[in-house]
Amino acid sequence: MESIAHLDPHNLCGNFAKAKELLSKATNVVVFTGAGMSAESGISTFRDPDTGAFWGKVDPTIFATMDGFQENPDIVWEWYMGLFEKMTSVKPNRGHELVAELQKKFNVTIITQNIDNLHERARVGNEKIIHLHGPGGIRCTNCDLVMPTDHLCTIMDKDFDPKVCISCGHPTRPDVVWFGEDLPKEPWQEAVAAMYDCDVCIVIGTSGQVEPAASLPALARTIISINTRAEDHARLAFDAITLTGKASEILSTLTE
């Protein structure tokens, strides 16, 4: 008999069945997200080939390191202010909404590498949201006063200099973790604990190339990986259940 495996090369049907079975027994669910989660909202990812990803357009050694920032403050500031404006102008997509709705059935913790706050904006319950790479916005390098992105964008047109702390007058910086910097301690510890405690970790839209975040899902008992690129599942864990496709479409089927 002729094989029909070629019609479902990623074994989506079988993997959906396995993923649904896992979720049917789960209580604690972690959703671990990367830039692909927000791609359908119109925000670029960092390293997708051929899609105008950020690190293909600008040099991360300038735009995502303290040395790059100190040597090129004006262009780095301009880029981040543009990015923050873009992030406040877009909306959470169906994928964010479906992630938020998971908390109706499970005890959900969202661990995100994203700084766009779209999980917060899609929130419908009291799920915990942990930011590994910072919340975005700006932070004073002296007194640690923070100004979140949404507030920053409301006062951007006024006579306001984001580079100087409104409280103590010292220099500020984008509230983002750059290469070579430690992740914030408390979010990291909470993320590790959530991974150990969860029954299932759903990983969505990350290439798994940036440590230490990339190693977190391996702490979970079981992983469901959602990604448009089949090759990016493999970096997470060898035994993940893989669902290849857009986050919103895969989540719709997974949660129906």
Annotated catalytic residues are: 133
Q: Where are the alpha helices (DSSP H) in the chain?
A: 12-24, 36-39, 54-57, 60-63, 66-71, 73-89, 94-101, 118-122, 149-155, 185-197, 230-233, 247-255
Closer Cβ to ligand OAD, 17 or 230, answer by number: 230
User: Please, what is the Cα angle at 84 between 228 and 36, to 5 degrees?
Assistant: 5
Q: How far is the CB of 100 from ligand OAD (least distance, A)?
A: 16
Question: Closest-CB residue for ligand OAD?
Answer: 36
Q: How far is the CB of 142 from ligand OAD (least distance, A)?
A: 22
Q: Is 64 helix (H, G, I), strand (E, B) or coil?
A: coil
Closer Cβ to ligand OAD, 109 or 112, answer by number: 112
Q: How far is the CB of 115 from ligand OAD (least distance, A)?
A: 7
Closer Cβ to ligand OAD, 11 or 107, answer by number: 11
| Number of neighbours of residue 43 by Cβ within 10 angstroms | 20
Residue ranges binding ligand OAD (CB under 6 A) = 34-36, 39-40, 45-48, 53, 64, 113, 133, 176-177, 205-207, 209-210, 226-229, 232, 246-247
Q: Is 26 exposed, middle or buried (0-12, 13-18, 19+ CB in 10 A)?
A: middle
Q: How far is the CB of 3 from ligand OAD (least distance, A)?
A: 28
Question: Distance between CA atoms of 18 and 225, rounded to whole angstroms?
Answer: 12
Closer Cβ to ligand OAD, 107 or 255, answer by number: 255
